Amino acid sequence: QVQLQESGPGLMKPSQTLSLTCAVSGDSITSGDYYWNWIRQPAGQGLEWIGRIHTSGGINYSPSLKSRVTISRDTSKNQFSLNLTSVTAADTAVYYCAREGPSHPGDYFPWGQGTLVTVSS
């Protein structure tokens, strides 16, 4: 059973760099034909796709965040990460990681439980 677990700082100040990690158990992030995604949701608002990394290492980013986002992975720890630079209050959100499976485009499953990141001075 694949499980994803996000971890992050919780509270940040504006202009800092957000670093989040998604630890994966029950599957290898380098096996198969999967995409490992980051998705966020500000409180009371909709979902926003941030980007993804493929098992091959290929990476895609949302054009709206591309200038500030880096997705990477640590295969030795079986986890992937999100870095978001120059955060503002608008980056306050619950951040989710999720797997997208082969032949299931747009099917994000499973999801992590989400981690709340608050940006405040």
Partner 1 sequence: QTVVTQEPSFSVSPGGTVTLTCGLSSGSVSTKNYPSWYQQTPGQAPRTLIYNTYTRSSGVPDRFSASILGNKAALTITGAQADDESDYYCVLYLGRGIWLFGGGTKVAVL
Identity at 21, one-letter amino acid code: T
Residue partners of 104: CB distance under 8 A and separation at least 6: none
Could you say whether residue 2 binds partner 1 (CB under 8 A)? no
**Beta carbon nearer to partner 1, 60 or 78:** 60
- In angstroms, the Cα distances linking 55 to 9, 32, 87, 100 are 26, 7, 28, 11
Q: Which of 22, 27, 93, 112 binds partner 1 (CB under 8 A)?
A: 112
Per-residue contact flags (x/-) with partner 1 for residues 15 to 54, judged by CB under 8 A: ------------------------x------xxxx--x--
Length of the chain counted residue by residue = 121
Question: Under the criterion CB under 8 A, does residue 90 sit at the interface with partner 1?
Answer: no
Distance CA 53, CA 51 (A): 7
> Which residues of this chain interact with partner 1, rule CB under 8 A?
39, 46-49, 52, 58, 60-64, 96, 98, 104-109, 111-114
